[in-house]
Amino acid sequence: MPVYGFTLNGNPVTVDAPEDLPLLWALRDKLGVTGPKYGCGINVCKACTSFLDGEDIRPCSVKVSAAEGREVTTIEGLADGDKLHPVQEAWLEYDVAQCGYCQPGQIMAAVALLKRTSSPTDEDIRAIENVCRCGTYFRIREAIMSAAEKMS
């Protein structure tokens, strides 16, 4: 099988995998990085949201071969050492998580939104398509608004 090399959360990694293996499978099953969650596998639930070269992607729908030579960031790589990202801090402050399953993807989607705009509107936040079966959307909105304010 081909070997693909990329940077994962700041560290170089290689993975021996079929070209068309979804990146999510490579991350979770081959590299043991389980922050990105498997929900649907077809780019609908967004539970796996991560970054490729700083852009948000759904790794269930990106081939591992597409990561070759690039930089992959998952929720595990969001904090700066012991210092949480402001969005993670806001998530704790607002006690956003319920069961928690969707939350890594929610946080990564929120970070992606705040990279695009420092002053998100309700509409911007509603446009985040990450599904939360526990219905934490209100607290997600509050946490994003708080993080936006602290980051600006």
**Interface residues with ligand FES (CB under 6 A)?**
38-41, 43-48, 58, 60, 97-103, 132-134, 136
CB of 64 to ligand FES, least distance (A): 14
Kindly tell me which of 78 and 132 has the beta carbon lying closer to ligand FES: 132
Least separation in angstroms between CB 45 and ligand FES? 4
Angle formed at CA 102 by CA 99 and CA 105, multiple of 5 degrees: 145
* Of 128, 139, 72, 127, residue with least CA distance to 100: 139
CB of 99 or CB of 151, closer to ligand FES: 99
Residue 74 Cβ, how far from ligand FES at the closest point, in Å? Answer: 12
Residue showing tokens 């030579």:
69
CA 44 to chain centre: 14
- Would you give the end-to-end CA distance of the chain in angstroms? 47
Residue whose CB is less far from ligand FES, 46 or 141: 46
C-beta closer to ligand FES: residue 4 or 101? 101
For the bound state, the minimum distance from the C-beta of residue 105 to ligand FES, rounded and expressed in Å, comes to 8
What strand order describes the sheet that includes 50-52? 11-16, 3-8, 71-73, 50-52, 55-57
Strands (E), the chain: 3-8, 11-16, 50-52, 55-57, 71-73
Which residue lies nearer to ligand FES by CB, 58 or 85? 58
Is 62 within 8 Å of 22 (Cβ atoms)?
Answer: yes
In the bound complex, what is the minimum distance in angstroms from residue 119's beta carbon to ligand FES?
25
